[in-house]
Amino acid sequence: MTWLTYARSMWWRRSLETRARAMRADDGKFAVGWLIALVILAGAAYGAYWFLGEYGFIDRGDSTPGVTSSAEAAAAEDEDGRPVWLHGTDYELPILIEASETRPAMYELPEWIWELDDSSWDLTVVREGDGDGQEALAERQSLVLVSPTGELFLVTDELRNDYRLSVVHWDPESNVAWMRRGGRPTAALVTELDLLTGEAERNWDGGAVATANHSEEGISNVEYLATQPDGLELWESYDAGGYSTGVFWRDGEDFVSSLASSRITRMVRQGFSEGEGVQAWFDVEGMRAVYHGVYEHAGSGKPQEEQWLIHDLSNDSFEVAEVATPNLECSPADAVRRGTFDGDLIVARCAGENYLLDPYAGAEPVAAD
**What is the predicted pLDDT for the residue at 17?**
35
Same domain, 269 and 155: no
Cα separation, 63 vs 107, whole angstroms: 18
**Mean pLDDT across the stretch 340-367?**
96
How many other CB atoms are found less than 10 A from the CB of residue 351? 12
**What is the predicted pLDDT for the residue at 65?**
37
Same domain, 194 and 312: no
Average pLDDT of the chain, as a whole number: 81
Q: Is 212 part of any domain? A: no
Q: How many domains does the chain have?
A: 2
State CA 350 to chain mean position distance.
Answer: 29
pLDDT at 57 over 80: no
**What is the predicted pLDDT for the residue at 72?**
53
Cα separation, 268 vs 295, whole angstroms: 9
CA-based torsion, 74, 79, 80, 86: positive or negative: negative
| pLDDT grade for 78, boundaries at 50, 70 and 90 | low
| Nearest one of 154, 94, 147 to 126, comparing CA atoms | 154
**Mean pLDDT across the stretch 22-37?**
34
Same domain, 328 and 230: yes
pLDDT > 90: percent of the chain = 59
- What one-letter code names the amino acid at 224? Y
Least confident piece of the model among 201-210, 311-320, 332-341: 332-341
How many other CB atoms are found less than 10 A from the CB of residue 67? 22
Helix (H, G, I), strand (E, B) or coil at 259: helix
Q: Is 302 part of any domain? A: yes
Same domain, 188 and 117: yes
Q: Is 283 part of any domain? A: yes
Q: Is 112 part of any domain? A: yes
Same domain, 178 and 238: no
**The model scores a pTM over 0.85:** no
Same domain, 188 and 60: yes
Q: Is 177 part of any domain? A: yes
Whether residue 220 contacts residue 313, with contact meaning beta carbons closer than 8 Å, is answered with no
Q: Of 173, 202, 231, at which residue does a domain stop?
A: 202
Model confidence pLDDT, tens digit, residues 265-301:
999 999 999 899 999 999 999 999 999 999 987 777 7
Q: Is 186 part of any domain? A: yes
Same domain, 60 and 28: yes
Cα separation, 142 vs 202, whole angstroms: 21
Same domain, 198 and 229: no
Same domain, 65 and 21: yes
Domain containing 11 equals 1-202
Q: Is 207 part of any domain? A: no
| Nearest one of 296, 11, 39, 275 to 163, comparing CA atoms | 39
Same domain, 169 and 39: yes
| pLDDT grade for 102, boundaries at 50, 70 and 90 | confident
**Mean pLDDT across the stretch 192-221?**
92
**Mean pLDDT across the stretch 84-102?**
94
Backbone angles phi, psi at 275, to 5 degrees: -115, -130
Same domain, 165 and 304: no
| pLDDT grade for 77, boundaries at 50, 70 and 90 | low
Same domain, 169 and 277: no
Q: Of 154, 171, 202, at which residue does a domain stop?
A: 202
Whether residue 97 contacts residue 106, with contact meaning beta carbons closer than 8 Å, is answered with yes
| pLDDT grade for 74, boundaries at 50, 70 and 90 | low
**What is the predicted pLDDT for the residue at 91?**
96
CA-based torsion, 149, 153, 159, 162: positive or negative: positive
Q: Of 202, 237, 259, at which residue does a domain stop?
A: 202
Cα separation, 297 vs 319, whole angstroms: 25
Q: Is 209 part of any domain? A: no
Adjacent-strand bridge partners of 153: 107, 145
